[in-house]
A = this chain, B = another copy of it.
Amino acid sequence: MALIETPYLLFLGDAPDALAAKVAQGIRDWRPDNAVGQFRMEGCKADMKLPDMTLAEAKAAGAKTLVIGVANRGGVISQAWKKVLIEALEEGFDLASGLHNLLTDEPDLKAVAEATGRALHDVRVPAVDYPIANGVKRTGKRVLAVGTDCSVGKMYTSLAMDREMKARGLNSSFRATGQTGILITGDGVPLDAVVADFMAGAVEYLTPDAAPDHWDHIEGQGSLFHVSYSGVTMALIHGGQPDALILAHEPTREHMRGLPGYGLPSLEALRDMALPLARIANPACEVVAVSVNTQHLGEDEAAAYLDEVEERMGLPATDPFRHGAAKLVDALLAMG
């Protein structure tokens, strides 16, 4: 990925509901300073509670990039959006998108971007020739969240730890490995689109040598227990050479996401699988905490579940969305 210039104007288009604007919401939640305002078309049902701006107003407010913060059905770039996107290029904005259909595959956008000298960032497409991993130990500290399943809150956990560390004045970076994470931060590696031989090397590239007290929060992907994507998780564990693993779990899920017939592993099974694999790349790696996504549990139920996990696993457990990431960060800092 070439770096996406910030701050952004968030394009919400004609979003049919709030969920369709998930990417914009991620930017709003995690990098509010990156968004000067929102651009909504007629009928837009999403609202980031940011100032509604015209392109000219956003430009005046310093916005550099129009980010498509909304997903259409099928990931398509709607004709209804084209007028705005082309005008944005002409006004001097770059465009950034995580949609399946690429900005660079639209001949009109491509032609106008070339004529105006603006950049089209398709964050699904790797823009770098990543090296093959060399396994050389890097300086600085790294933490990776590994999940019992996909989509259990790994990105959220890492963003929350990064925010908590920054709030404490500590030296910390979130390292994005997926489309939403890349758009939130403006940089990262779209790992699921990297060619097999270069996956681990891409993660090494993403998390270079750093100061001894610096923590990289590497965004996790997939799960060792999810047969469709476990290879991607493996590359994160070996390319990331984490010092610390956080176990991420969603306790009400009945089977692995998209794989009926595959039950979820226990937290113990995840720990026992992930840790020996991580120690191949970093013999000092430890499992330090558990991050539980309790969104489907009531307040008391969530508290009881977290207590039970702490007792059973002998590890701090929290829901960073519900209770903040302080416990997780304390666990990292306790590593010494």
CB–CB B135/A261 < 8 A: yes
Chain B contacts of A239 at CB under 8 A?
227
A280 to B274, CA, bound (A): 14
Beta-carbon nearest neighbor of A241 in chain B: B227
* Most chain B CB neighbours (cut-off 10 Å) among A199, A259, A262: A199
Beta-carbon nearest neighbor of A137 in chain B: B261
User: Taking the nearest CB of chain B, how far is it from the CB of A302, in angstroms?
Assistant: 28
Stretch at the interface among A61-69, A86-94, A228-236: A228-236
A281-B196 contact in complex given A135-B262, A262-B135, A276-B273, C-beta closer than 8 Å:
no
Partner of A230, one of B193, B194, B200, B258: B200
- Is A225 on the interface with B (CB-CB < 8 A)? yes
Which residues of A270-298 are within 8 A (CB) of B? 272-273, 276-277, 280-281
CB–CB A193/B192 < 8 A: no
Interface size on A, residues (CB 8 A): 43
Chain B contacts of A106 at CB under 8 A?
none
A294 to B242, CA, bound (A): 35
CB–CB A277/B273 < 8 A: yes
A134 to B134, CA, bound (A): 32
Which residues of A225-254 are within 8 A (CB) of B? 225, 227-235, 237-239, 241
Chain B contacts of A230 at CB under 8 A?
200, 234-235, 237-238, 277, 280
User: Taking the nearest CB of chain B, how far is it from the CB of A276, in angstroms?
Assistant: 6
- Is A195 on the interface with B (CB-CB < 8 A)? yes
Q: Mark A159-186, 1 if CB is under 8 A from B, else 0.
A: 0000000000000000000000000000
Between A and B, 11 residue pairs with Cβ closer than 8 Å are A192-B197, A196-B231, A200-B229, A227-B238, A227-B239, A230-B234, A230-B238, A230-B277, A230-B280, A231-B234, A262-B280
Q: Give the B-binding residues of A (Cβ under 8 A).
A: 132-137, 191-197, 199-201, 224-225, 227-235, 237-239, 241, 256, 258-259, 261-262, 265, 272-273, 276-277, 280-281
